[in-house]
Structure 1
Amino acid sequence: MLGEYLKQYRTINGMTQADLAVKLSVSQNAISQYETGKRCPPISRIANISKILGCSVSQIVSDSGT
């Protein structure tokens, strides 16, 4: 589910995978793998993602904020 919520909030913010990757200093492939569930980002990266996307960690992890 994390991948679905990550993609949802990234899209809401008008960002591409490449845009988010640049802001996180990771590859676009890493973002793709997070969104497809092939890889799970470390909690510290999830915290950075939530800051960049303007949502809480709980929203990225479980979408409990909506």
Structure 2
Amino acid sequence: MKDINIKNVDKITQIYLGEFLREIRQKAGWTREEFASRCEEKEFSISADTIKSYENGKRIPPLSKLICLFYILACSDSTSKNGENKNILKFKDVCQEILNSIEK
């Protein structure tokens, strides 16, 4: 396993996760306000401003919130031909991109 550049982990993670959240929210056809409302329907409280801060790479959501956000977004997308959710597959790719970007 290669060494990683620890100093870059937070910033790179913020950027990649933020871009990914924005991308799949927009593919769902939701504004940030609509996304926040969908979260409320699932009894998960988050503001449109918080979503904006995640999408703009200003903050990293805690893991528990990240799981909830992806669950709600996953529910918005159809599954691929083999039955796997497209957003989950894309998230795996994003995680790999993050790892590739932080390696020295």
Instruction: Calculate the TM-score normalised by the size of structure 1.
Output: 0.80
Hey, what does 1:48 align to over in structure 2? 68
CA distance change for structure 1 residues 39 and 6 in 2, over 3 Å: closer, same or farther? same
Amino acid at match of 1:11: Q
Amino acid at match of 2:52: S
Q: CA RMSD in A?
A: 2.4
Match of 1:14 among 25, 29, 49: 29
C-alpha separation in 2, matches of 1:5 and 1:35: 8
Instruction: Calculate the TM-score normalised by the size of structure 2.
Output: 0.53
**Structure possessing the higher radius of gyration over alpha carbons:** 2
Hey, what does 2:17 align to over in structure 1? 2
Q: Structure 2 regions of 5+ residues with no counterpart?
A: 1-15, 75-86, 97-104
Match of 2:45 among 25, 49, 52: 25
C-alpha separation in 2, matches of 1:48 and 1:61: 19
Amino acid at match of 1:56: I
Q: Structure 1 regions of 5+ residues with no counterpart?
A: none
Aligned residues: 64
Moved over 3 A (4+): none
CA distance change for structure 1 residues 7 and 17 in 2, over 3 Å: closer, same or farther? same
